[in-house]
Structure 1
Amino acid sequence: MRRCPVTFSVSRRHLLQGLAVSPLAFGIGAPLLASTAQADFLLVSLADLHSPYRNLPAVLQTIRDLRAESPDTPMAITINGDIFERGNVAALRSEAAADWQFVEALTGIAPLIINLGNHETAIIDDMASFVARAEATGAVVVSNILDRRTGRLFAPSTAQLDIGGQRLGFIGLAATNPFVYREAVRDTLGLLDPVDFARAALGDAMAGVDVPVILSHAGVVADRATLQDLSAGTLIIGGHDHLMLDHEGDGTRYFHGGSWGNTVTVVGIRRRSSGPEFSVDTVPMTADRPRDEDLDATIRAILAEHLTDEDRAVIAELSRPRDLAESILFATDAVRSAVEADVAFLGHTTFGTGLPAGDVTRYDFDAFVRFDGEIRTATVTGERLAAIMTMANQHRASNLDQRTGDFVHAREIDIDPSASYRIATNDWTAQNQQAYLGTSDIAFETVDGLMLKPTVEAALGRL
């Protein structure tokens, strides 16, 4: 049973706030994105934030600057799931005070649409409670997740927004694997097939919409199937898989804008007689980006209050920062060395964000290696290893057909198809080997007493 769609318009408050600021107020020189100057309206897109306290103030200030840079251009903001991260102990212990301040600040800049992901209950133990609090900030929440206690959707599945003389329609889709949701809430969730749901919604609730926007937290595999049903002029904003990709179809646009607040994605939409035209640009959250002072102060206070001496303990010192791919490759090398394997495979969403320069504290380390788990090993033929390697390192993929959603990072080696190789991985990847490794019959064995996080931490300490 669906809740009714929501229809809303850009408020006078948002319009006046946009017109009241000027680029000089924020010290903006050259435009952040040249393409935004040509857009009839803008969508600022975020996804898979996971309480990124290192970047969150810069994300907020960047959006303020974008609003100031284009005060006459109608704008909306979307968060495509996963605002919170339970592994961020500061977020957990403060009940996500900084995250909620961030959400409230966004609603003061432009209309905010939130699609429910699998981490909206990372801090709050009831999806309905999250929806109520998010709506109280002024955000509009969409989702196709069913509340099994009531038989109703937790939030309307669609919403419509009048912006810049056009009507945008939003559909919210969620991941269907129950094991990516916290055990505490799984029994309350009814997870509906996103492909079928999108097909029905596009033909029903999106009737009369000028620009259909699908906010999909269902992942690449489901999104690829959904793309086959889309008409020209449809935009899909992807999430859940923590990817960076941009795919242009036959009049459609599909992108993932990364995760952990490392980028802000801006979609420029231009009116054309043949339908809307999309431009997609990203702003990286580099160390020198301006930061929102109020949110920055809040996060500093939260860290000072809630981090223990153990959280602040320095476990390594790095001369330079490592991006996520390089950091994960370091972790695979640590595992491979620890068990004397030929290759180690680690799933990419086991990790959050890359390693910073300077002192790496345990708090920083937990933002890098999100989940612990047993180390497991197996012996495979070279032919099997070569097949697995074709699915690995998809962060380098150049087109959508090369993407499977979940994937592993691994150090590449020369492979003799007739030889045997010892491989290693973590228990999550071994248990879900069909998705990650493309097979289901590898007999992995647990290495007694060896866990992922201590193994990687020990390797970092030796640098």
Structure 2
Amino acid sequence: MSFVTPSRRRLLQIAGASALAPGLSALRRHGVVGRVLAVSDMHSAYERIGQLLAAFEGEVRSQAVPHVIAIDGDIFEHGDVVAVRSGGAIDWAFLAEAARLAPTVVNIGNHDNDLTPDLAEVVGRMRSIGVVVVSNIVDTRTQAGYAEPVANVAFGSRSLRVVGMATNALNTYPQASRAQLSIPDPAEWAGARLPGLLDGADLRLVLSHAGVAADKTILPLLPDGSLMIGGHNHLLFQHRQGRSAYAHTGSWTNAYTVAEYLEDGTVTVASRPVATEAAASPRLRNLIAETLAAHLTDEDRVVLGASPRALSLGDTGRRVATGLADAAGADVGFIGHTTLGMGAPAGAVSRYVFDSIVRFDGSLMVADAPRAQVEGFMARANQDRPMPLEERSGDFLYGAAASAPMTAAIEDDRVRIVTTDWCAANQGEYFGTTGLQFSEVADRKVKAVSIAALLDA
């Protein structure tokens, strides 16, 4: 059985094209009203956060126009032991420096109270360092919003109206906080509230941490010439709708998006990569080094193995998917896209670094399905490729065949698949069906299998 997945070379070509084509900023510099530097799903990615701040500093210095920094949720990461032990010291310093650099707006995501379960405390601290917060999440203790869902931000002589909304997938928020959160269905909320919130605005920015599925319903509500930044799905793409622009900015601080509001009412967007080898901002460089040194233990620093070469996030996911299939004796493996954080780097990989590659552990689950159905699963998998917006599902799987498929061991028209317990439990979102009958694979765990698949011992 053969399943086709994108090659790494092709994906790099795609990434380069998407970074250059949408904006053509050098040709459009004349007539720029202002620029938004947007990022989402940062997840305490300390290997790049200093470089991201340096990139923002360079962007603001390079263009003598108003700037706003927009962060569309998930700044913090409970899976990062340094973030947890330091109370997110590096993340908070980044926010403070961003607010000094340019007006900074945060839309609350489902991981922003990872380190401080009471979201009211998080919002209060953000405001205390000069960050503007928008959110449509309601505090069940007071029946008031944790923040207003709309804010007007000075944009030079103009004004930028910013609206923020969150995902209502309550099971993705820290468990200790869920009873304190009331979150409306984002598409329904936008249908009822968004037109009124945007009415009469000068310039418009919608920050949605609701994911692509909801965003596709929200996009038609936007007045022409708006900007919408999406998050939650860890995607990187741009989409044009008339004079409006819609973009997902990547994840794990591997990229950010530059949006330009032009005098003719058009908004353009372009992605910029953030390289680990770039220089970090001196405003964060020492703090990052000191915080890592203070909070990493000998166990965190243990080298689990070596990665033969650097892999993109998608290629990392497909390599792990193959490893899951091999370990479970299945034909095809699947792993959820947000189970992964960053792509595997080249060289020695410590436990701390590996936990940023594969974020969550869990059991392996197998099921048998008709070959045609599995081909359908593969067709909707690997959404780290260019594809029409209408075909994007938001949550998606990385999928790949086993090294040596075992099709002969089961009926000829059926295929054995393996995935994680999370994806099995949420198969409707990931596979587009609820009819798969999964059973657990004994003595196999996601992280241990992933280490074997990615690293040379």
- Unmatched 5+ residue regions in structure 1? 1-31
Identity of aligned residues (%): 36
Q: In structure 1, how many angstroms separate the alpha carbons of the residues matched to 2:283 and 2:86? A: 16
Matches within 5 A, 1:131-150: 131-150=123-142
Residue identity in the other structure for 1:445: S
Q: In structure 1, how many angstroms separate the alpha carbons of the residues matched to 2:276 and 2:91? A: 20
Q: 3-state SS of the aligned residue for 2:380?
A: coil
By how many angstroms is 1:303 displaced? 1.1
Answering whether residue 56 of structure 2 is matched by residue 56 of structure 1, we say no
Matches within 5 A, 1:309-320: 309-320=298-309
State the Cα deviation string for residues 82-135 of structure 1 (Å, max 9, x = none): 000011100110000000000000001000000000001110110000000000
Answering whether residue 39 of structure 2 is matched by residue 46 of structure 1, we say yes
Q: After alignment, is 57-66 or 292-301 more displaced?
A: 292-301
By how many angstroms is 1:461 displaced? 4.2
By how many angstroms is 1:186 displaced? 0.3
Contact 2:258 2:269 in 1 (8 A): yes
By how many angstroms is 1:33 displaced? 5.8
State the Cα deviation string for residues 25-48 of structure 1 (Å, max 9, x = none): xxxxxxx96367332200000100
Residue identity in the other structure for 1:432: N
State the Cα deviation string for residues 400-437 of structure 1 (Å, max 9, x = none): 01200000011158999962111100000000101100
Q: In structure 1, how many angstroms separate the alpha carbons of the residues matched to 2:376 and 2:59? A: 45
Structure with the larger RCO, 1 or 2 (CA within 8 Å, 6+ apart):
2
Answering whether residue 440 of structure 2 is matched by residue 458 of structure 1, we say no
Residue identity in the other structure for 2:154: D
Q: In structure 2, how many angstroms separate the alpha carbons of the residues matched to 1:294 and 1:36? A: 31
Q: 2:201 aligns to what?
A: 209
State the Cα deviation string for residues 179-237 of structure 1 (Å, max 9, x = none): 01011000000011212322333332322212221100000010000112222112110
Answering whether residue 428 of structure 2 is matched by residue 434 of structure 1, we say yes
Q: After alignment, is 351-360 or 88-97 more displaced?
A: 351-360
Q: 2:319 aligns to what?
A: 330
Q: In structure 2, how many angstroms separate the alpha carbons of the residues matched to 1:202 and 1:44? A: 22
By how many angstroms is 1:462 displaced? 3.6
Q: In structure 2, how many angstroms separate the alpha carbons of the residues matched to 1:438 and 1:252? A: 30
Q: 1:18 aligns to what?
A: none
Q: 3-state SS of the aligned residue for 2:177?
A: helix
Contact 1:35 1:268 in 2 (8 A): no
Q: 1:407 aligns to what?
A: 396
Matches within 5 A, 1:68-87: 68-70=61-63, 72-87=64-79
Contact 1:243 1:395 in 2 (8 A): yes
Contact 1:383 1:418 in 2 (8 A): no
Contact 1:174 1:217 in 2 (8 A): yes
- State the TM-score, normalized to the length of structure 1: 0.89
Q: 1:351 aligns to what?
A: 340
Q: 1:282 aligns to what?
A: 271
Q: In structure 1, how many angstroms separate the alpha carbons of the residues matched to 2:342 and 2:200? A: 41
Q: In structure 1, how many angstroms separate the alpha carbons of the residues matched to 2:351 and 2:25? A: 36
Q: 3-state SS of the aligned residue for 2:247?
A: strand
Residue identity in the other structure for 1:138: G
Contact 1:56 1:261 in 2 (8 A): yes
Matches within 5 A, 1:214-229: 214-229=206-221
Contact 2:47 2:276 in 1 (8 A): no
Matches within 5 A, 1:103-114: 103-114=95-106
Residue identity in the other structure for 2:164: G
By how many angstroms is 1:252 displaced? 2.1
- Unmatched 5+ residue regions in structure 2? 1-23
Q: In structure 1, how many angstroms separate the alpha carbons of the residues matched to 2:27 and 2:60? A: 14
